[in-house]
Structure 1
Amino acid sequence: MNINLQSLIQASNELGAVYKTHHSTQNVVELVLNDESYVFINWTTPLNPQSISHLCLDNVFFYHFFQDSINMPKTAGYLYPFCDQKYLQYLKEKSYQEIVNSIENQFQYPLIVKNNRGSLGHFVFQVNDRQTLFSAIESIFNRNSKTFDYVALAQDYIDIKTEYRAVYLNGALIFAYEKNIENAIYDGNLSPLHWQGAKAILVHDKALLNQIARFCSSLFQKMMIPFCGLDVAIDKQGVWWLIEANSAPGFQHIINDGCQNEVIDLYKKMILFLEGKGAGF
């Protein structure tokens, strides 16, 4: 069973909520609350409408929707130049060379290049010159790769001091944890918690939690995302940035580093919210 759903089951048991598992993996959990069914599948929950989940999944769409509401790295998207004919109306750069030229006209080195709908830090490149930029674009648009994406992103590089995952339910910050790489070893994946020896450390400092909450509040003023994990970072000049939003956050790292009770409590709040008993947290 998915590690998220294990915590959901524990929360259901502690609250006496009725549930049923489906499929041999037990990775489909149905909660029955007030005679209504709510289905959780792997990391996904029934809280977010499909349009919001899609918005969080598509980094280009997310950036253009929220860029005036919260501080994010400048982002530009580039369509696969050899796309199907039905997408030609969206195509501007018709070769890798034109994509590289466009990126160099808009960004300075170093910069970040990644696929639009990636996860777990796969296909995220820090590029420092034209040659590595070209190679990164080729890697993302490799049709023989299982992780082929038809849109590549270019982003401003942020010199991050510390990165956090902030978990929100109905616009309320439930908990946050630091993606600590103090004693970790970089092994090719830029995502902090994929470094060898990285740790997820729960944030207890109320002043820091208040800083995170204040920074993220403008996003929810623009539009409510019922459930999400926000990757936020403070750079070495003390400026806060939203790096990414995840509408189906996983909790493996924070659970493995000893904080399953916080995740169980999150699911308790979620169950009560679905029952209509937990509007405020």
Structure 2
Amino acid sequence: MRDFVITTDSNCDLLPEYVEKKKVGIIPHYYELNNEVYGDELNLTPKEFYDSMRAGKLPSTMASNPAVIHSTFLGYIQEGKDVLHISFSSALSGGYNNVAAGARELCEEFTDARIIVFDSLNASLGQGLMVMKAVELKEAGKSLDEIEEWLIEHLKNFCVQFTVDDLFHLQRGGRVSKMTAIVGSMINIKPILIINDEGKLIPAGTVRGRKKSLSTIVANMVKQMGEYLNNPGTICVVHGDAAEDAERVVKLIKEEVAGASVIVNVISPSIGAHSGPGAIGICFMGEGKANV
């Protein structure tokens, strides 16, 4: 059996120390701000990025670069390794199609190479949890095909509950209407969002007030987890430069889920450009994405 590597893209929001320790390959997604493109060697700190949005700057985003995809995969092929790439949802970005096209091209040229591009139909640490599980299975001796089979079987068990602090960022991305954003902001309405089985970010309700929105996504998580409450594994909290609220959510999770291991990280700019400062998400294993 040929050796293989596990790769993903920067929208997975995995902690840098995990990526380095487990040698996970990362293909960057990009964002543009003030006529400068970031995502490779050049990057803003999370504080700089989200403060620029608070100041009224409107970043735009770009998917992965075909040239970077080609060079990354070619390097592994030249080392005699196959690749399992776990991609950001194809319903949210063109990155999956870019990677799949690059993989096909290389496999046509190097006929003994295998590059499996797996559509996570997920985002942020919902996608990152899949990578972590794939790494765990690889370390347990599972083959590339066995890991792919496991991911297919459990695709709908990787769940995300999400809320944002500012509706206007969702309105810019076409997630809510301008009128909804205006009226909702006036009366302090906060949306609850999920990523559905098709990998799309969709509304799953509204509540009034920030505090209520945070407790609601935790309550929804508990409902979705079902039997996973007995073995919760890792639960992830992601935030748009809102560390205090993220810690509040961690506290709520630990009150509700005994034995949970919780990871906290900042939402990457190429997602944060659409969710905005103050966004909070929970990524976890559950019985079904829409089971709320």
Q: Which has the larger radius of gyration?
A: 1
Give the TM-score taking structure 2 as reference length.
Answer: 0.27
Task: Name whichever structure is richer in helix by fraction.
Answer: 2
